A and B are shown apart, each in its own frame.
Chain A
Amino acid sequence: MKIAEHTGAFAGDKDAAASIRDEYIKPTLENGKDILLDFEGVDLATQSFIHALIAAVVREKSENLDHISFKNCNENVQSLIEIVVEYAQDEFE
């Protein structure tokens, strides 16, 4: 899945993230297949975009991460993914 084809260079639109999540990520995981999220061409993403993209599937079952690969992430995108992946596994007080 090439993220930039849905978002352009700036991945901020949560509606686009939710669409990728519901139409690609969730069905693919349910079919037991692996996922490749390719961020080539994405210069910047927002926390809310990354949250809408992956927080639900990580929170539902963190082992889902074993079936997801993140490709061509720049430093900022990688940091945001790591932040969301971490707090999606947190238990809030």
Chain B
Amino acid sequence: MLEKAACFDEMLGDDGTRAPYALVDAWLKSLPRDQLELKRREAEGLFRRIGITFAVYTEGGDPERLIPFDLIPRVLAQAEWQRLKLGLEQRVKALNAFIHDVYHGREILRAGRVPERLVLHNSQFRPEMAGFDLPGHIYSHIAGIDMVRTGPDQYYVLEDNCRTPSGVSYMVENREVMLRLFPDLFRRAAVAPVAHYPDELLETLRSVPPPNCRGEPTVVLLTPGIHNSAYYEHAFLADEMGIELVEGEDLLVQGDVCYMRTTRGLARVDVIYRRIDDEYIDPLVFHPNSMLGVPGLYFAYRAGNVNLANAIGAGIADDKAVYIHVPEMIRFYLGEEPLLSNVPTYDCRLPDDLKYVLAHLDELVVKAVHGSGGYGMLVGPHATQGQLAEFRALLKARPYDYIAQPTLSLSTVPTFVEQGIAPRHVDLRPFVLSGGDRIRIVPGGLTRVALREGSLVVNSSQGGGTKDTWVLEG
């Protein structure tokens, strides 16, 4: 069971305010409480006006909701960040090498380091990608790596998001709002900037032109449209990069070349940052009835006339059972020891693991292998008897769909809640950009915070909020 006292508070530490938080601590102490409430409302107004909303499709309520924003920043020292950064680069390099390998020679499977069936019988394995060489051998150009912290030096990777990770617009806009609300604070702190993320993203996308591209590649962002929960982010990124935000109907494939319809006629498109799922990309190959995609896009892709970021089939590395093997991938492809730790994970398809999980269900977190957004998840220590019984039945019926992990005592950061300032659990999603030339990481990431007391679920669809994430310079 998780004891509140047992978790690491990133500001208070074990013996007094930790150095990176000295300024934030002093600032909080000097700030009148009603001032904080006033600023909180101002921030909310700013988010509404800018239109940074997140569509949540549940019964009733406002379909365009704000993700609660907490004013108190989460702070990492430069040295802490440097360690994370090296680990992230290493991990994403190995993930890309792994995805390339499973669609080519499958060396890691032959070597018996990752179970063959886990990959070849995985619903995220896309045979459509077999034997296809991608520019720079990059599949996950944009990866979001979810991390948690349990102590001053203990970080764990919770999961890898290699398909279409979202949330980076919050990283940039949270900082923007903080700068507007508290300019003085930033004058006193040396915080590494994050506003150049869109430039770095564009550089990354331009570094992977398709083989048949001549000259400067034309990059577009493909969105499912305004009803998508992350539409604001799509518009924000396209705008910041100065590229067209297109929907499926704006694109046309002719002679296996992809074009966009413009007022001047058809214009060739070279790189598509797509924010639609694999299955909707091309109705001639995937869902025949998809209206979101572009007929023939897959063939233009395979013909080397257009590149997609992220690649089709990158989801094979997202799978929570594949996750177990990432440290092994790092050793196999890079010949290095992993710098970032995995959370010890029980693979329910293994009989011994399953037995253990069933016996200790009330201590563990159980996750659906293909789930995301905190759905299909059981937090044992917080679950009711009914929920435990339900998951016990699910695990017995479909063990290969689940993994389980011990409940970690996630670190906390002071958070402004109704009762005042109180510790709340946080995670961190840094965004790693892999281009044909190099890896780029903007210092920081998205900090998500579980606003309910004691809660460990930080997902925005489950009532989580966000914070500005500071990496201190020097």
Tell me whether A and B are bound partners: no
Give chain B's interface residues, CB within 8 Å of chain A.
none
Chain A residues close to B by CB (< 8 Å): none
